Structure 1
Amino acid sequence: MRTTTLLLGSVAMIAMLTPAAHAQSGAAAQTEQQDSDAAIAAGQDIIVTGTRAEGRTRLDAISPVDVLSADALQRQGTTETAAALATVAPSIDFPRPSATDGTDAIRPATLRGLSPDQTLVLINGIRGHPSALLNVNGSVGRGSASVDLNTIPTAALQSIEVLRDGASALYGSDAIAGVVNLRLRQERTGGGASVTFGGYDTHVPATLAPRDVTDGGTVTASLWQNIPIGDEGYLDLTTEWTNREPTSRGDLDTRDSPAKVRSRFGDPDVRQHTTYANLGVPLGDSGWQVVGWGGYQHRRTQSAAFPRNPSNSNNVPSVYPDGFLPLIQTVSEDYTITGGVKGQISGWDTSLIASYGRNKIDYSTIHSINASYGADSPTEFYDGANVYDQFVTNLDISHDYALGGGDLTVAAGAEYRRESYQIEAGEPLSYAKGPLAASAGAQGFAGFSPENVVDQHRDNVSGYLDLEGRFGPISIGAAGRVEHYSDFGTTANGKLSGRWDISPSFALRGGIQTGFRAPSLQQQYFTSIQSVIIDRQVVLTGTFPSVSEPARLLGGQPLEPEKSTNYSLGFVYRSGAFNLTVDAYQIDLRNGLALSENIVVSALDTPQYRDIYNSLISQGVQRARFFLNGVKQRARGVDVVANYRLDTDNAGRFNFTLAGNYNDIDVRSVPETTSVLDPAPTLVSRQRIVSIEDGTPQTKITGSIDWSLGDFGLTARAAYYGDVNQPGSTSATDLHTGKHIITDAEARFTVADQFHFGFGVDNIFDVYPDAAPATVPQSGVVAFPFYSPFGFNGRRLYVKAGLDW
C-alpha cells in the first residue's frame, strides 16, 4: 500500500463531502463532549487518583494531578496511547528506540525522567500488570520491565489521570515518580466507528544519504458500542485493529561495496488487534454494584537488527552473498480480566476487586542464520518466550465524617498480590553452537537455551491507612502503608501533605513522602546470551541473575528494593476561566537498581580469577553482566500548567493550554566495587550515567489551541524539546538531538450530527533530531539518536473518518 496514494485518495473523499457539512448543524452532537472538555479545562472535573475523598477536582487536590480527556488524546495523528499521552503531558517522555530487540516492539514511557518502572500504572484504580519484556539494551529505561500503555486503545478510554507525585504510601511499589490511571469509558448508550489513515511524507536529512521518503503507512480502525443494562447498568465494548508498515531512516553503509543503506533503522512492522470491555451492573436496590473490565491484545511486530554485511564474520556467503538483515519478530499476547463488587457496609464505602493479567512474548528470528552451522543452518528460528502474570486482590473501605466546620475521609485497605515469571527455551538451533568457528545461535537474536529456563513466583501482602481532612481553608493528608514480600521482607512508607486555600483564587500545597520499588521478577531472574553491538562489533553477552553462579562469582548479591524521599511545594491560582498550577519537586532516590556494564571475560584470565574465567567461558560468553543495587540520584524540577477557556457568541469556543516541565537529574554516586573483584571493573559506566542524567529532555514545553464552532473544530499544538544526549563510548561519540520545536495541526468537521471527518499533519515542518555526524562511527545504522523524545520519522499526514450512532 503506497502511503501517498492512500492519503490523496482519502483527502479527495473528504473534499467531495465538505459541501455537505453545511447541510445540517452538528452542534448538538458535540455539546456533551465540549461540556466535558470545558470541565477539565476549568478544573471542575472530579478526580479519583491521589485522593480517596469524594468530590475532589483537579484544582482542589492536595497533590498535582493532570486530567487528559479521550478527545485530547485522539486529536492527533498517532493512535498509540503512550505516544498520544507524551504529546500532551510535558512530564511524560516516550522515545521510539530502534535496533534494541524486543524494546522496539514494547516501548516504555517515563515520568519526570525516572525509570519507566518507577511509575505505577492503574486501570480504573487497580494495579496493571507489567510486560514480560525486560529492556536490556541501550535504550532509555535500560534494565526496566514496565507496563505497556499501548495495550489499551484510546477509543476505550474516558480519560487519563497523571498523578505527578510519589504515591507508594497510597498504592504501593513502583509509584516513586507518580501514577498514571487509565479510566475506561462508562456510558450507557451510543456507539461509533472510526478509521484513521496515515503515513510519513518526509525528507530524511541523513548525513551521507539524504533522501525523500514516503513510508510507514498506518491504518487504524476502531469500533465501540455502549449497551445499557437495566436502569443504571452499562457494558462498554471496544475493538481496534492496527496495521502499520515499517519506516527506514538509516544512513549509507560504506563498509562494503557497493555502499548503500543496508539497515532498516526505524519503526517496526506491526499487526495488532485489541478488544476491551468495561461493565457496571447494580444488584437490585441493594446499593451494591458488580463491576468488571478486561481486554485482550494480539500484537505481531517485526523489527530489524543490525545488518550483517557481506564481509561480516558471521555471514555465510553461499546463503547470503550480499549479506543479510536479521528481523526480530515478537508475538505479544496480553490480557487482563478484573471483577468485583462495590457498595456500602454500615456507612463505609466498600470495594472488593480481583484482577488477573498475563503477558506472553514469543520471539522468532527470520532472515537470519546460525553461522556456526554454515550453509546447513536454517534461516528462521523460534527463540523461546518470556511470560509474566499477576493476580491482585484489593479490599478498600472509606468513610466521610463531618467534624464541626470540616470533613474527614478515613480510608483503609489491604492488597494481596502474586506474581510469576517464566522463560521458555527456543528450538535447539536458535542457541546451539555448531562445528564452525563462528558465533553460536541465530544472528540478531539468539534463542533462550534450556539453561536459561526460569519459573519463579512471589507473594506480597500489604495494608494501608489514609486520612484526608478539610478544615476551613486548611486541608491535611496523612497516609501509611506496610508491605511484606516473600522474597525480601517488609517495608513501610508514609506520606504527609497539606494545602492552604489563602483565598478562593489562590492556594499553596505541598508534601513529603517516602517511596519504594521492589525489584521485579524480571530483574531478579532474567537470563540470556545475546549478540550485543559494542564498538561496531557483535559480542556474545551473558545476562545473569544476581544470585546465579556466574554472577555470584563476579560479586552478585540478592537484590533489594529501591527507596526514595519525595518533596513537593506548589500553588494553584484560578480566576474566572483562567487557572494556573505550579509545582516544584525533589526526588531523592537511593539504592537504585542498575544493570551492570559488560565485564570482559578475557580480562579475568589470570591466576587470581581463573575459576571465574573458566565458569564464564563454559557459558560460551565473551562478556557478562548482572543487576546490582547502589545507584543514588536526585531529580529536581518544576511543572507548570496554565489554561484559559474563552467562550464567544459568534467566534466559538477557544481553549488555550500552556504546560511545561523542567527536570534536572543528578547521579550522585554509583556502586564501584563488588565483594569479589579487586580492583573491580567499571560497574556503572559513563554511558549509563549520561543516559540517566541527559537521556530525557531537561526542558519540555507544550502549547495548544483548541477551537470549535458548530460543526467545525481545529487543534494547533507546538512542543519544545530540550537537548537529549544519547551517549557513546566517549563524549566524542555522543549523539545529541539538539533543541527543536514540533508543530502539529488538525481540522475536523461534522455532517448531519453523525459523520465526523478530519485531517491533519504531525510535525508540519518535517523536523528531525540532529543527524549523526560522519565522524561518529555508526556503520550507517544509527543515523539519528533514537533517544529523541519526538522520534526520528519526520512529517506525518493523516485523515480520519467516523460515525456515531
Structure 2
Amino acid sequence: MKTLRPLLAVAVSTIALAYAVAAQAQTSPATDTAAAPESVPSDPTDIVVTGTRTTGRSRLESVSPIDVLSAATLQRQGTTELGASLAAVVPSIDFPRSSAVDGTDSIRPATLRGLSPDQTLVLINGVRAHTSALLNTNGSVGRGSAAVDLNTIPSIALDRIEVLRDGAAAQYGSDAIAGVVNLRLREARTGGGASVTYGQYITDVKTARGDRSERDGETVTASAWQGLALGSDGFLTLSGEYLNRNPTSRGDFDPRKTPIRVRSRFGDPDVEQYSFYANAAKPLDDSGFTLYGFGGYQHRDSVSAATPRIVGGTGANANASADALASLYPDGFTPLIAVTSEDLTATAGLRGDIAGWKTDLSVSYGRNQLKFNTRNSGNATYGAASQTAFYDGKVTYDQIVTGLDVAREIPLGAGTINVAFGGEYRREGFQIGAGEHASYDRALGAPTNVGSGAQGFPGFLPSNAVNAHRDNGSGYLDLEAKPIDGLTLGAAGRLEHYSDFGTTVNGKLSARYDFTPWFALRGTVSTGFRAPSLQQQYYTSTASVLTTGSIVETGLFPSTSPVGVALGGKALRPEKAVNYSAGFVIRHGGFDLSVDGYYIKIRDQIALSENLSGTTVIQRLRDEGITTVTAARYFLNGIRSTAKGVDIVAHYRAPTGSLGTFDLTAATNINNIKVTQAPPAATITSSLSTTTLPVFSRQRIVSFEQGTPREKVVGTIDWSLDQFGATARASYYGDVNQPSSTGFAEDDIHTGRHTIVDLEVRYTLLGRINLAVGANNLLDEYPDYVKLASSRGTALNSTGLVGFPYYSPFGFNGRYVYGRIGVNW
C-alpha cells in the first residue's frame, strides 16, 4: 500500500484540478459543450506514422499505445539533453545519470519499460538510426548493451517524437522488443528561431559524512533553426546547437587522508559539443515523385573522472600505483577519462506513386567513432619517467541501410485494407583501434604490485584490434484492414537473414474496436527478436599484468575466441520475445484516457558473464595452449525474463476564456521485471582439477529486476494566457536497487522513493521574444545517500568516492536553476 500512496496522491491531485478546470470551462459561455459524449476531431499534431503504415491516423486512433511529444514539450524544461527531456515527460522511459563507470558517463543509455537499452529501436524520420560504438561494460544500468545515443540529436532539430510502447520487430526488425522511438525532424520553408539557455546547480548536498553547498554544473546552450524555400514547393530546414557544461561533484568526504575533504569527482562529466542537422524535400516537377534527404553531425568532447588514487595509504587504502607516481603527484591524483565522439548520419530517398502504390526508396549511412584519452594520470610501471596523458585507442561503429517501402489502400467489401510490403538491406561494421604503446605497456622489471598502462583507463592493446562486418536482408508484409465501421484488424510478418547467425521469422496480430466514438478496446500479440550486436560479439578489452615473471592478460574476450571457447563460450544467438498487450481508450470533449497492460516474455537474453579466474581456469587455458591469459569474461545467452505492467495516460485540455488554457496530463508506468531463468554455473575442467564458477550472479539478476523504478508517475500542468505561460510537473519515482557484489541483500544500496518537482514560467514580449525562468528539482531532492556501512557491518562508503547511488533514475545533482531567452522570426 505504501507503494501506491504517492501514485494515488499525484493521480488524485491531477484529476481534482482537471475537474475544477472543467467546471470552470462549463460555466464559461466561450466553451459551452453538449452533455452527451462526443469525440473531438484529431489534432493534426497527433497524427502518427509509427506502428502503422496507413495515413492520417492519430495517436488515439492507433491500435498500439503511442505517445506524441511536441517540440514545445521537449523545450519547456531546463535540460537540453534529449534523453533527459524524454525521461522527464514519459513515465515508461528512464535515463539514469551514471558516474565513475568510464565511457558510460559520457554516452548514457535510456531504457523503455525497464528493459535493456538495446531492446528499443530508434528511428529518425522512420529510418533506423545507428547505435553508439560504445559497449557498456561496467556496472551501470544497461550493462552489456550497445544502444543509440539519443543525445546526438539536438532537440531544436525536432518537430515531434513518437514513442511506440509495443513490440514491433515484425514491422521494423531487430531491437524493437520494448518499443520504438521515432524522432521526426522539423520541416519548414520559412521562419526560424534562436534561443540561449543558461543554468547551474544551486544545491545543498547531504552525504553520510556531512553537509555542504555546491554551485556547479554551469551550462550554456545556444541553438537556432531556419527554414528555407527550395523553389515553389520544396523546403530546407537547418538546425544547430552548441552546448558547454561544467562538471558536477557529489561524492562524499574522503576519510583516507587528513584533512578530510571531497577528493572524488563523482557526478556529471565536463562536456562541450556542437551539432548540426538538415532536413529537406523537393517535389520533382509534375512527376509525382519527391526527392528528400536529411542528416546531421555532432562533435562532443566529454571528460569524466575515475577513482582518486591516494598516496601513502596503508592497509586497505594502500595504492602501490599511486605511490609509484608520487614524484608526479605528491598528494595523489584523480585520472580523467576524455571521450571524443564524432557522430554522423546521412539519408537520401525518393518517394512517390507508381500505379497507385505509394513507394519510398531510401539509403542511409550512420557512423559513430569514440576516441579515448586518459589525462592527469600515469603509467605506474614507468614511475617518475611516466607521461601524464595518453591516447588509449578508439572504437567505431557504422551501418548502411537501404530500404524499399510500398503501400496502397484497397477497397475491401464495405471497408478498406491497407497493403504494405517492402525490404531492407543493412551492412554493419565495428572496429577497435589500439592506443599508443605507453597507454597499455608494462615496463620491464616493474614491481609486481603496480598496474600496467594508463591509470584509470588502460589503452586498447594491439591484440584487441578488431575489424568485423556483417550484413542482413529482410522482407515484410503488413496488412491493416477496416472491414466494417469501428473495427480495425492488423497482421504483419517479417523474415530476416543475418550473415552471422541465420534466419529469423516474426509476426504480429493486432485488433481494435471502437464501440462508440468515445470508447475503444485494442490489443496486440507479437513475436520479436534482437540480433546480438557486433560490439557484443567482437569487443575485446584486456589489461596486462605481471604474474610469476610473465606478462599475462585478463579482461573481456569474444565468446568464440580461443579464450572464450576454452571457458565455455559459444556463438551468440538472437534474443527472442513474445509480447502481449491489451487496453482501452476513452475520449470525451477535451479529455482522453488510455490504459494499456502488457506482458513480455524474453528468452536467450544476452548478458556479460562474471569474471572467471583461479588456478583451474589458468590450467584450462594452458591445456589449450593459451599461456598469456589468467582470467576472462565473455557474453553468453541463457537468461529468461518477463516484464509485465500497465501504462496509464490521462489528458485534459480546457480553454477557459479569461483564465487561459489549461493542459493537464497524468501518466504512470507500473512495471515488474522478473528473471525466471539464469545461466547455470560453469564447470571448468583442466588436466589437473575441476571447479564450478558462477557466470551470472545475484548482482546481475537484481540489476535486471530492480535497476529501474517499478513505479513512475508524472503529473503535468501547462497553462497559457495571452503572453504568459507556465509549466509545473511532479514526477514520482519508486525505489531502485543498486545491488552489492557481496551476494547479500542487506548490502544493497537503495535510492528510496522520491518526488521531483519542476517549474517554469514564461513571458512573450512583442510577440517574438520569449523569456523563461525555471527550476528542475525545485525542492532540491536527492536519492538516499550511500551509508557508511550496511546492517550486517559491510563497509559501503569507506573511501567517500560515491555519495549517492548511480542507479538513480533522476540523477543526484540536486536543484538546477535556469533562464532562457529566445526569439522567433
User: Same fold, TM exceeding 0.5?
Assistant: yes
The structural deviation recorded for 1:610 is 6.2
**Residue in structure 2 matched with residue 23 of structure 1 by the alignment:** none
Tell me how far apart the structure 2 counterparts of residues 530 and 761 of structure 1 sit (CA, whole Å).
Answer: 44
The structural deviation recorded for 1:42 is 6.0
Say which of 380, 383, 401 aligns to 1:371. Answer: 380
The structural deviation recorded for 1:605 is 5.0
Tell me how far apart the structure 1 counterparts of residues 622 and 708 of structure 2 sit (CA, whole Å).
Answer: 41
Q: Could you tell me whether the CA contact under 8 Å between 2:66 and 2:165 is conserved in 1?
A: yes
**Residue in structure 1 matched with residue 282 of structure 2 by the alignment:** 281
**Residue in structure 2 matched with residue 721 of structure 1 by the alignment:** 733
1:355 paired to 2:364: yes
Tell me how far apart the structure 1 counterparts of residues 460 and 614 of structure 2 sit (CA, whole Å).
Answer: 21
1:749 paired to 2:763: yes
- Residues 422/452 of structure 1: CA separation in 2 closer, same or farther (3 Å cut): same
**Residue in structure 2 matched with residue 314 of structure 1 by the alignment:** 321
1:692 paired to 2:733: no
**One-letter code aligned to 1:798:** Y
The structural deviation recorded for 1:673 is 4.0
Q: Could you tell me whether the CA contact under 8 Å between 1:41 and 1:655 is conserved in 2?
A: no
- Residues 530/657 of structure 1: CA separation in 2 closer, same or farther (3 Å cut): farther
The structural deviation recorded for 1:601 is 3.7
Q: Could you tell me whether the CA contact under 8 Å between 1:44 and 1:58 is conserved in 2?
A: no
Tell me how far apart the structure 2 counterparts of residues 70 and 659 of structure 1 sit (CA, whole Å).
Answer: 19
Say which of 660, 663, 685 aligns to 2:668. Answer: 660
**Residue in structure 2 matched with residue 680 of structure 1 by the alignment:** 692
Structure 2 matches for 1:611-650, cutoff 5 A? Answer: 611=622, 615=626, 618-619=628-629, 623-650=631-658
- Residues 603/738 of structure 1: CA separation in 2 closer, same or farther (3 Å cut): farther
**Residue in structure 2 matched with residue 597 of structure 1 by the alignment:** 610
Say which of 786, 805, 824 aligns to 1:785. Answer: 805
Q: Could you tell me whether the CA contact under 8 Å between 2:167 and 2:528 is conserved in 1?
A: yes
**One-letter code aligned to 1:654:** F
Structure 2 matches for 1:229-240, cutoff 5 A? Answer: 229-240=230-241
**One-letter code aligned to 1:529:** T
**One-letter code aligned to 1:467:** L
SS in structure 1 of the partner of residue 267 of structure 2: coil
**Residue in structure 1 matched with residue 775 of structure 2 by the alignment:** 761
**One-letter code aligned to 1:640:** I
Q: Could you tell me whether the CA contact under 8 Å between 1:601 and 1:624 is conserved in 2?
A: no
1:332 paired to 2:346: no
Tell me how far apart the structure 2 counterparts of residues 528 and 40 of structure 1 sit (CA, whole Å).
Answer: 56
**Cα distance per residue 1:518-570 (max 9 Å; x no partner):** 000000000012599xxxxxx98501001111111111111110000000010
Tell me how far apart the structure 2 counterparts of residues 497 and 68 of structure 1 sit (CA, whole Å).
Answer: 24
SS in structure 2 of the partner of residue 363 of structure 1: strand
SS in structure 2 of the partner of residue 502 of structure 1: strand
Q: Which runs of 5+ in 1 are unaligned?
A: 1-37, 533-538
**Residue in structure 2 matched with residue 704 of structure 1 by the alignment:** 716
Tell me how far apart the structure 1 counterparts of residues 206 and 566 of structure 2 sit (CA, whole Å).
Answer: 48
The structural deviation recorded for 1:598 is 1.2
**Residue in structure 1 matched with residue 558 of structure 2 by the alignment:** 545
Tell me how far apart the structure 1 counterparts of residues 632 and 240 of structure 2 sit (CA, whole Å).
Answer: 44
The structural deviation recorded for 1:403 is 1.9
Say which of 499, 514, 517 aligns to 1:486. Answer: 499
Structure 2 matches for 1:237-256, cutoff 5 A? Answer: 237-256=238-257
1:453 paired to 2:465: yes
The structural deviation recorded for 1:600 is 2.2
Structure 2 matches for 1:46-61, cutoff 5 A? Answer: 46-61=47-62
**Residue in structure 1 matched with residue 821 of structure 2 by the alignment:** 801
**Residue in structure 2 matched with residue 568 of structure 1 by the alignment:** 581
**Cα distance per residue 1:710-762 (max 9 Å; x no partner):** 10100000000000001112323211000000000000111111111100011
SS in structure 1 of the partner of residue 207 of structure 2: coil
SS in structure 1 of the partner of residue 259 of structure 2: coil
Tell me how far apart the structure 1 counterparts of residues 706 and 681 of structure 2 sit (CA, whole Å).
Answer: 25
SS in structure 2 of the partner of residue 170 of structure 1: helix
The structural deviation recorded for 1:699 is 0.2
Structure 2 matches for 1:55-454, cutoff 5 A? Answer: 55-310=56-311, 311=313, 312-315=319-322, 316-434=325-443, 435-437=445-447, 438-454=450-466
Tell me how far apart the structure 1 counterparts of residues 242 and 104 of structure 2 sit (CA, whole Å).
Answer: 21
The structural deviation recorded for 1:252 is 1.3
**Cα distance per residue 1:564-591 (max 9 Å; x no partner):** 0000010001111100000000000000
Tell me how far apart the structure 1 counterparts of residues 602 and 681 of structure 2 sit (CA, whole Å).
Answer: 20
Tell me how far apart the structure 2 counterparts of residues 261 and 612 of structure 1 sit (CA, whole Å).
Answer: 48
Q: Could you tell me whether the CA contact under 8 Å between 2:542 and 2:553 is conserved in 1?
A: yes
**One-letter code aligned to 2:321:** N
SS in structure 2 of the partner of residue 599 of structure 1: coil
**One-letter code aligned to 2:665:** T
- Residues 549/260 of structure 1: CA separation in 2 closer, same or farther (3 Å cut): same
Q: Could you tell me whether the CA contact under 8 Å between 2:296 and 2:344 is conserved in 1?
A: yes
1:585 paired to 2:598: yes
1:465 paired to 2:477: yes
**One-letter code aligned to 2:400:** F
**Cα distance per residue 1:644-674 (max 9 Å; x no partner):** 0000111111100000000000000111144
**Residue in structure 2 matched with residue 526 of structure 1 by the alignment:** 539
**Cα distance per residue 1:77-110 (max 9 Å; x no partner):** 0000000000000000000100010000000000
The structural deviation recorded for 1:43 is 8.6
SS in structure 2 of the partner of residue 509 of structure 1: strand
Tell me how far apart the structure 2 counterparts of residues 612 and 529 of structure 1 sit (CA, whole Å).
Answer: 21
Tell me how far apart the structure 2 counterparts of residues 122 and 570 of structure 1 sit (CA, whole Å).
Answer: 25
Q: Could you tell me whether the CA contact under 8 Å between 2:683 and 2:693 is conserved in 1?
A: no
Identity of aligned residues (%): 57
User: CA RMSD, aligned part only?
Assistant: 1.7
The structural deviation recorded for 1:255 is 2.2
**Residue in structure 2 matched with residue 651 of structure 1 by the alignment:** 659
**One-letter code aligned to 2:492:** A
Q: Could you tell me whether the CA contact under 8 Å between 1:443 and 1:531 is conserved in 2?
A: no
Q: Could you tell me whether the CA contact under 8 Å between 2:170 and 2:476 is conserved in 1?
A: yes
The structural deviation recorded for 1:376 is 1.3
SS in structure 1 of the partner of residue 100 of structure 2: coil
Tell me how far apart the structure 2 counterparts of residues 612 and 287 of structure 1 sit (CA, whole Å).
Answer: 68
**Residue in structure 1 matched with residue 23 of structure 2 by the alignment:** none
Q: Could you tell me whether the CA contact under 8 Å between 1:672 and 1:680 is conserved in 2?
A: no
The structural deviation recorded for 1:41 is 9.5
- Residues 41/713 of structure 1: CA separation in 2 closer, same or farther (3 Å cut): farther
The structural deviation recorded for 1:139 is 0.2
Q: Could you tell me whether the CA contact under 8 Å between 1:355 and 1:393 is conserved in 2?
A: yes
1:731 paired to 2:751: no
SS in structure 1 of the partner of residue 659 of structure 2: coil
Tell me how far apart the structure 1 counterparts of residues 553 and 99 of structure 2 sit (CA, whole Å).
Answer: 20
Say which of 679, 683, 688 aligns to 1:671. Answer: 679
Tell me how far apart the structure 2 counterparts of residues 92 and 541 of structure 1 sit (CA, whole Å).
Answer: 36
**Residue in structure 2 matched with residue 773 of structure 1 by the alignment:** 787
SS in structure 2 of the partner of residue 600 of structure 1: coil
The structural deviation recorded for 1:253 is 1.4
Tell me how far apart the structure 1 counterparts of residues 352 and 624 of structure 2 sit (CA, whole Å).
Answer: 62
Q: Could you tell me whether the CA contact under 8 Å between 2:670 and 2:711 is conserved in 1?
A: yes
**One-letter code aligned to 1:547:** T
SS in structure 1 of the partner of residue 397 of structure 2: strand
**One-letter code aligned to 2:782:** Y
Q: Could you tell me whether the CA contact under 8 Å between 2:440 and 2:453 is conserved in 1?
A: yes
